[in-house]
């Protein structure tokens, strides 16, 4: 899943205004924020196999550290704990941890049976929504549109917010209709770049939204 994760981040930041939007988006993406570094160091592997699922040419061969249920839960606890230790409100910290853990369950819905439960264990799960492009795009599109509307409801949003919404949406569309990526390193580097940009940008436009609410 891609923009479906951001949908939960948007909703969480509106439900808990002390949780900055960019931080919420980062938390919802936490496994994907860790993953590119593990790819670049060869700790985890992915292959580009067009048609592996209808939705993505990426075949997730091994990603037990960034994407197993156990490690995602531990990473969520660590990020929520760090947020709290740095002075964040307890409820906001709970949202941070919950968003990170939600990532596994959304990926479980979309991926085929490649989602590990524990590192070093062969059990892999996935409901395979990615085998259908229309189903995936409908579900994720509705989640994203609903979350954007929920986040913006009753507030005058800045142009920067709408540009962020559009950039994420267009990135998603580009992934669906565009050619397969030229290699694993460009995939990893684009994630390395995207995550801090979304964090910074989200916090900036989220603070404006909160001030104007």
Residues 139 and 111: beta-carbon distance below 8 Å: no
Q: By C-beta, is 32 or 140 nearer to Zn ion?
A: 32
Q: By C-beta, is 4 or 31 nearer to Zn ion?
A: 31
Q: By C-beta, is 71 or 157 nearer to Zn ion?
A: 71
Stretch that binds Zn ion, among 107-115, 140-148, 160-168, 202-210 (CB under 5 A): 107-115
Is 17 exposed, middle or buried, given 0-12, 13-18 or 19+ CB atoms closer than 10 A?
A: middle
Residues 130 and 115: beta-carbon distance below 8 Å: no
Q: By C-beta, is 31 or 116 nearer to Zn ion?
A: 31
Q: Which residues of 141-162 are buried (b: 16+ CB within 10 A; e: fewer)?
A: bebbeebbeebbeeeebbeebe
Residues 22 and 206: beta-carbon distance below 8 Å: yes
Q: How far is the CB of 5 from Zn ion (least distance, A)?
A: 7
Q: How far is the CB of 213 from Zn ion (least distance, A)?
A: 31
Q: How far is the CB of 97 from Zn ion (least distance, A)?
A: 16
CA 25 to chain centre: 7
Q: How far is the CB of 103 from Zn ion (least distance, A)?
A: 6
Residues 23-62 contacting Zn ion, CB under 5 A: 31-32
Stretch that binds Zn ion, among 105-113, 114-122, 149-157, 161-169 (CB under 5 A): 105-113
Does 107 bind Zn ion (CB under 5 A)? Our answer is yes
What is the end-to-end Cα distance of the chain in Å, rounded? 30
Q: How far is the CB of 34 from Zn ion (least distance, A)?
A: 10
Q: How far is the CB of 210 from Zn ion (least distance, A)?
A: 28
145-151-157 Cα angle (round to 5): 100
**CA–CA distance, 19 with 199 (Å, rounded to integer):** 12
Q: By C-beta, is 31 or 206 nearer to Zn ion?
A: 31
Kindly report the backbone phi and psi dihedral angles of residue 135, in degrees, each rounded to the nearest multiple of 5, phi listed first.
-65, -45
Q: By C-beta, is 114 or 147 nearer to Zn ion?
A: 114
Stretch that binds Zn ion, among 20-28, 39-47, 99-107, 143-151 (CB under 5 A): 99-107
Residues 29 and 112: beta-carbon distance below 8 Å: no
Sites of contact with Zn ion (CB under 5 A)? 31-32, 107
């Amino acid at each position: 899943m891609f923009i479906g994760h951001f949908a939960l981040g948007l909703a969480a930041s509106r439900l808990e205004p002390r949780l900055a939007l960019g931080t919420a988006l980062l938390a919802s993406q936490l496994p994907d924020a860790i993953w590119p570094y593990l790819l670049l160091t060869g700790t985890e592997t992915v292959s580009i196999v067009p048609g592996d699922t209808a939705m993505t040419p990426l075949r997730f061969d091994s990603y037990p550290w960034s994407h197993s249920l156990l490690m995602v839960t531990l990473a969520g606890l660590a990020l929520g704990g760090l947020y709290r230790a740095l002075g964040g409100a307890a409820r906001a910290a709970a949202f941070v941890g919950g968003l990170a853990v939600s990532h596994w369950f959304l990926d479980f819905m979309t991926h085929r049976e490649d989602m590990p439960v524990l590192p070093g264990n062969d059990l892999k799960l996935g409901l395979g929504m990615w085998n259908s492009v229309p189903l995936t795009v409908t579900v994720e599109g509705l989640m994203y549109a609903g979350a954007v509307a929920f986040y913006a409801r009753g507030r005058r949003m800045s142009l920067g917010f709408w540009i962020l919404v559009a950039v994420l949406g267009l990135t998603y569309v580009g992934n669906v209709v565009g050619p397969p990526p030229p290699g694993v390193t460009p995939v990893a580097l684009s994630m390395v770049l995207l995550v801090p940009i979304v964090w910074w940008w989200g916090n900036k436009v989220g603070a404006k939204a909160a001030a104007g609410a």
